[in-house]
Amino acid sequence: MKQLYLVFFLFVCTLCFSQNAKGSADIDGFKLYPNPAPQGKVFIETAQNAPKQILIFDVLGTQVLQTTILGKELNLSTLDKGVYILRVFELNKVATRKLIIK
């Protein structure tokens, strides 16, 4: 039974990595500042400056924020102090960064 779980796990991992490789190139010119974020907002700049879908996860992997921004400013005032994972989607590209809120 353990072998079956191991084969299934390896299959799922391979499938996930192959899907992520298709559209997961890092976003050109990606900048996130200030990080750590002291005032409840951060700025996200990219070369394309297109609309961005933002997902933020806590350290346990729970999604705590989902939004779309048209400019550069991202409001984080609803989040508590701590460490988060920021995932930004723009024009079929993805950038993932650690975000610290003071």
Q: How confident is the model at residue 39 (pLDDT cuts 50, 70, 90)?
A: confident
Does residue 2 surpass a pLDDT of 60? Answer: no
| Res 17: pLDDT | 45
What pLDDT does residue 94 have?
Answer: 97
Task: Tell me the domains of the chain and their CATH numbers.
Answer: 26-101 (2.60.40.3080)
Strand order from edge to edge, sheet including 82-90:
63-69, 52-58, 82-90, 93-101
What are the C-alpha distances in Å from 3 to residues 8, 14, 15, 17, 28?
9, 16, 18, 21, 42
User: Considering only 20-24, 51-55, 94-98, which range has the smallest mean pLDDT?
Assistant: 20-24
- pTM value is 0.74
